[in-house]
Structure 1
Amino acid sequence: ECNQIKVSDLKIKNGACWGLSFELCSYLSINNISLTNRAYWNNDGMDITDCRNVGITNCNINSGDDGICLKSYYPGYCNDSIYIANCTIRSSASAIKFGTASYGGFKNVTIEHIKIFDTFRSAIALESVDGGTIENINIRNIDAVNTGNALFIRLGHRDGTTPGVVRNIHIKDVKVQVPFGRPDINYDMRGPEVDFFHNPFPSSITGIPGHQIKNLVLENIEIVYPGRASKGMAYIPLNRLEQVPEKEKKYPEFSMFGELPAWGFYVRHANGLSFKNIKLTLAKADFRPAFIFDDVEHLKMEQVKLPDAGKQQIILYKTKNEQLDDNTKSVSKNL
């Protein structure tokens, strides 16, 4: 509950918990911080909780848990007018995350010019599971190498009287390289592993029945996936997509659904999606399709480039497709 705060030009190392934490503050500037926070696996880099008018710039973060994490513990409050830019992040969890605490929400956030490497979970994770609102988010110029998951966007209902809202998000100019093995294997202090054998996880965009993620634009996205999926792990036939669990009340994480039936993007319960100039490539073959769309309305895809796998790569399931250009149609054999 402080105003007009400036933190700059510091080297900070190995706090007992989070490296920097601010709650219910306004006009906060964090600039040129070198932060190594790895004394324990649950060490976040920076946590910003329900603050307004925040700038985080020119920081180098090496954290045992999430790198830069926006949290919202207070209903009626939110993170509002947040600017994050020109930062380098290495994390044994997610590089930039909204949540998991998400009671009030996250509004009017711009994130740009971020370099991410050796990060176990998601490069970008946007999560509303406690009734909060995520809206008016602009993310651009993200370069992630050796990162376990590119994008994780989740609307759930873990807590709160009603589910929250996730809408009006624009993500562009993103490059991610996803490895086959664990990207943080050489860390001195690693976070919890995924506790089951699994194929490489795709990016996922998932709401819950009756509550869709709305108005999401993905533009100029390039992701290199490892492939090498095996049907011996947990094969989900395309005629049984409904067996992917909803898990409305569960902790949000890119691995939360278990095995997923797509290698590129898995999308469920969404309305108003635009994919423009998307390039997905595989280091090795993958038997799964690139895209699964389940309960999706108003889907637009243009300039989508996929490997020529000689099979159907876009699966539309219980989906209303109003705008699919010729390039997208040529990729799929059964629309």
Structure 2
Amino acid sequence: MKKLFNGIVWMLLSGCLLSCSNSKRISAEDTAWNTADSIRQLIIAPVFKNVDFKITDYGAGLDSNIKSTEAFRNAIEACHQNGGGRVIVPKGTFLTGPIHLKSNVNLHLEDGSRIVFSRDIDDYKPLVFSRWEGMECMNYSPLIYAYEQENIAITGNGILDGNANNDYWWPWKAKKEYGWKEGMPNQLAAVKKLTQQVKDLVPARERIHGDGSYLRPPFIQPYLSKNILIADVKIINAPFWNINPVLCENVTVRNVKVVTHGPNNDGCDPESCKNVLITGCYFDTGDDCIAIKSGRNEDGRNIARPAENHIIENCEMKDGHGGVVIGSEISGGARNIFAQNLIMDSPNLDRILRLKTSSLRGGVIENVYMRNVEVGTYKEAAILCDMFYEKPGDFMPTIKNITVENLNIKQGGKFGVLINAYEESPVENLKVINSTINGVKIPVQSNHTKNMVFENVEINGELIDLSKIDKSVKGEFEKF
């Protein structure tokens, strides 16, 4: 009886210990997503007065060959001066120059409406204070712009058409597949000049670009603004990045559809922003679907505003360089990034989760959590941590605390997990849990990691034993 009693006690104690152990593991993951729930409570979409200002009442006409720039400007100003409301774009096609939003204004596109942006470069002057690939400068106005405004929105089921293609805007990239031919003007000299101006700490407002620089403007760029909503619209034919809030707080991007395959046609690039929700969106792009950024090189380090508290959920990604990407303009760092309930599927989607940086960029990428991702196929790597995206410099990057859970891939590309890091700055605390990747050529390749953990990870039908994988990847690192 005593032996039986002792056995029962041991069983109960063992069960308690096992339960406590499991609860610790579960609570560690749950704690992160509890943080995401707390962040969600901070992201509140702006609301607007129930007053409408229709652009046709301010001179906009249905002749799509005549610019309605002044009508947009006057309707927005009237709405702003009267305490806010909606600026209504009715059914029809309207040609315009850039649109500058002001506080308490919701630009609302009714069903059947389409805004087409002008190809007359003079319409995008005077130059405005902007960021171009993470570098501050004076450049052509973004197609839709706001500077130091609060409570602004772009909503409705209409179409925003950037009017870019291989005949206009895209050739400035200097790539033949986008219409450029030998002897045509391009951005290359200006990019080199701006990069040097940033390195030399030239004051940002003295970095004058525009005419002769050929730096394509982003599509939508609210700058130093708060309480932003972009919802339901479809965005096509962008000159450059599509949605690029910079140094903003409380941003919601909801049910937006981005379909554009030009150069650098990133879908949504929140840059140095805090408290961002991207939900229910569809991305089919010529570059990264979502790319989280915080400034390039000296600008990112000196301004020192990290990307933080981002939630990405319920989105679908088709073509693109990456589904969820952090970098490469990440010198200000990134932290508390959450992505869940995503669908990705395209042979032209290069990566699922991509962290790209370099010792030229520097910065700390930390606390990145992804879960519940269903993938049909992709091209190159499911999980990529790359510290050699750009040429080396003097600012060692850090990547740490990355957790991927419930990633299910039917037909993978070349790599399952690919890590290319510095020996003196290994990728720390990468954890992959309860995930299945099928059809990859190389399951795991990693050169420098610390505390990398796989729990119940199956690749090509085999449960992964990292101790064996680590031995198999010693030596020369194979780049894709």
TM-score (norm 2): 0.47
1:272 lines up with 2:427 in the alignment = no
1:98 lines up with 2:318 in the alignment = no
CA gap 1:10/1:279 in 2 versus in 1, 3 angstroms: same
Q: One-letter code of the match for 2:292? A: L
Q: Which runs of 5+ in 2 are unaligned?
A: 1-223, 475-480
Q: Report how far residue 176 of structure 1 moved.
A: 2.0
Indicate the residue corresponding to 1:154 in structure 2.
386
| Deviant stretches of 4+, over 4 Å | none
Indicate the residue corresponding to 2:432 in structure 1.
218
Q: One-letter code of the match for 2:269? A: D
- How far apart, CA to CA, are the structure 2 residues paired with 1:315 and 1:106? 28
Q: Is the 8 A contact 2:351 2:382 kept in 1?
A: yes
Q: Report how far residue 201 of structure 1 moved.
A: 3.7
Show CA shifts across 1:302-323 (max 9, x none). x6389xxxxx96352699xxxx
- How far apart, CA to CA, are the structure 1 residues paired with 2:355 and 2:473? 25
Q: Is the 8 A contact 2:367 2:402 kept in 1?
A: yes
CA gap 1:313/1:166 in 2 versus in 1, 3 angstroms: closer
Show CA shifts across 1:261-306 (max 9, x none). xx10001111111100011117xxxxxxx9xxxxxxxxxxxx6389
Aligned positions of 1:101-180 closer than 5 A:
101-118=329-346, 119-129=348-358, 130-148=361-379, 149-156=381-388, 158=391, 161-178=394-411
Indicate the residue corresponding to 1:296 in structure 2.
none
Q: Is the 8 A contact 2:382 2:412 kept in 1?
A: no
Q: Report how far residue 134 of structure 1 moved.
A: 0.6
Indicate the residue corresponding to 1:326 in structure 2.
none
Q: One-letter code of the match for 2:293? A: K
Match of 2:311 among 67, 76, 83: 83
Indicate the residue corresponding to 1:24 in structure 2.
247
Quick one: percent identity of the two aligned structures? Answer: 23
Q: Is the 8 A contact 1:225 1:264 kept in 2?
A: no
CA gap 1:151/1:28 in 2 versus in 1, 3 angstroms: same
Q: Is the 8 A contact 1:133 1:165 kept in 2?
A: yes
Match of 1:209 among 413, 423, 444: 423
Indicate the residue corresponding to 1:192 in structure 2.
none
TM-score (norm 1): 0.66
- How far apart, CA to CA, are the structure 2 residues paired with 1:305 and 1:160? 35
Q: Which runs of 5+ in 1 are unaligned?
A: 181-199, 228-262, 283-289, 291-302, 307-311, 320-335
Q: One-letter code of the match for 2:317? A: I
Show CA shifts across 1:206-260 (max 9, x none). 2112111111111011111254xxxxxxxxxxxxxxxxxxxxxxxxxxxxxxxxx
Q: Is the 8 A contact 2:316 2:343 kept in 1?
A: yes
- How far apart, CA to CA, are the structure 2 residues paired with 1:202 and 1:176? 10
Q: Is the 8 A contact 1:147 1:177 kept in 2?
A: no
Indicate the structure with greater strand content: 1
- How far apart, CA to CA, are the structure 1 residues paired with 2:446 and 2:469? 11
Q: Is the 8 A contact 2:271 2:307 kept in 1?
A: yes
- How far apart, CA to CA, are the structure 2 residues paired with 1:222 and 1:318? 21
Q: Report how far residue 160 of structure 1 moved.
A: 5.2
Indicate the residue corresponding to 1:47 in structure 2.
269
Q: Is the 8 A contact 2:415 2:440 kept in 1?
A: no
Q: One-letter code of the match for 1:210? A: E
- How far apart, CA to CA, are the structure 2 residues paired with 1:45 and 1:132? 23
Q: Which has the higher contact order (CA 8 A, sep 6+)?
A: 1
Q: One-letter code of the match for 1:218? A: V
